[in-house]
Structure 1
Amino acid sequence: MQVIKDKQIIDDSWSYIADDAELKDGDISVSLARWKNDKQQLLHSNGKKGVRIGPADSVDEIAADLKDIQLVELDFPAFADGRIFSHAWLLRGRYNYQGEIRATGHFMRDQVYYLSRVGVNAFSLKKSEDLPVALANLDDFTVNYQKSIL
């Protein structure tokens, strides 16, 4: 599978591990609940670590662990839920997170430009044929009225 990262289409090395699945080595992401329950085991596994955050989750809960997390996935269960935008801004603005922030789930291609303005630098889309269009959407506007977080 491929994703957009830093305005390029690249192969994705990450795997999401469901809460009821066995942990494995490699570049893996887990839910916030699993991170909190299995943090010590995850920290001692081989590979990069990621945490998936939903709209109802609090970014504050991983703030102290951001030094150990290379990927924060912001999961859109529905495209109409804007709390994910705030999560991205908090990660970059308040916590100065420098790792990858990836939008995943049910966001619209038209939202990628606005997500990038609040700190999202990677996008996982359901259909690989949508990647070129979403990549082009990152350059939708040349003039901005407000400052970007990046």
Structure 2
Amino acid sequence: MQNLIKNDAVTEDAWHLIRSEDESYGAAEDVILPLAAWLALDPARSGQAAPWLAPDADLSLLLPVLAQLPLIAIDFPAFTDGRGYSLARLLRERYGYQGELRAIGDVQRDQLAYLSQVGFTVFAIRDDRPAQAALDGLRDFSDQYQATVLQPEPLFKRRTSR
């Protein structure tokens, strides 16, 4: 992935995203695998491995090892598929996941502000879109009305508490 935004900057990716269970990769390579392939992974391999979740993934499969995962990627197969937002919010708020949460798939500039509010920290922008231009999407809104992962208190409560 070349179009990666992390820590408010466009950066190179140390991880190799494996989209298909048939795709090959090296034993020492850091890989992001489909959930089924990640669950079947040989624990003796030397490289790090992380799962990527489809929008309909069962989060309970990750709960026993959630604290040890360095990264979880959530796939957005289409711009109009918002189920990944719910997965991210559940991972952050209900299950307390503190690691890197990466949005992959059909990720575009218009989504970045919203993705960050539900807990995503890294964004793999679609290959046909410039990541540098998408970076400004993180600053599209100066404040949020509703409670979010980043700002758990809604605006009306923040205004009355002054």
TM-score, normalisation: structure 2:
0.83
Amino acid at match of 1:99: G
Question: Judging changes above 3 Å, is the alpha-carbon distance between structure 1 residues 85 and 129 closer, same or farther for their aligned structure 2 residues?
Answer: closer
The equivalent residue for 1:99 is 99
Does residue 36 (structure 1) correspond to residue 39 (structure 2)? The answer is: yes
User: How many residues are aligned here?
Assistant: 147
Amino acid at match of 1:64: P
Percent identical pairs in the alignment equals 36
Helix, strand or coil at the partner of 1:92? helix
Contact preservation (8 Å) 2:107, 2:126: no
The equivalent residue for 2:7 is 6
Give per-residue Cα distances to partners, 1:23-81, cap 9 Å, x unaligned. 5222111111112222xx1x322232211101111222212122332111111111111
Contact preservation (8 Å) 1:49, 1:68: no
Contact preservation (8 Å) 2:67, 2:98: no
Bigger share in helix: 1
Question: Partners in 1 of 2:34 and 2:99 — Cα distance?
Answer: 17
Structure 2, unaligned stretches of length 5 or more?
Answer: 151-162
Instruction: Please state how far the C-alpha of 1:134 moved relative to its aligned partner.
Output: 1.6
Question: Partners in 1 of 2:60 and 2:6 — Cα distance?
Answer: 24
Structure 1, unaligned stretches of length 5 or more?
Answer: none
The equivalent residue for 1:20 is 22
RMSD: 1.7
Helix, strand or coil at the partner of 2:89? helix
The equivalent residue for 1:53 is 53
Helix, strand or coil at the partner of 1:12? coil
The equivalent residue for 2:158 is none
TM-score, normalisation: structure 1:
0.89
Contact preservation (8 Å) 1:3, 1:9: yes
Question: Judging changes above 3 Å, is the alpha-carbon distance between structure 1 residues 65 and 23 closer, same or farther for their aligned structure 2 residues?
Answer: farther
- Which has the larger Rg? 2
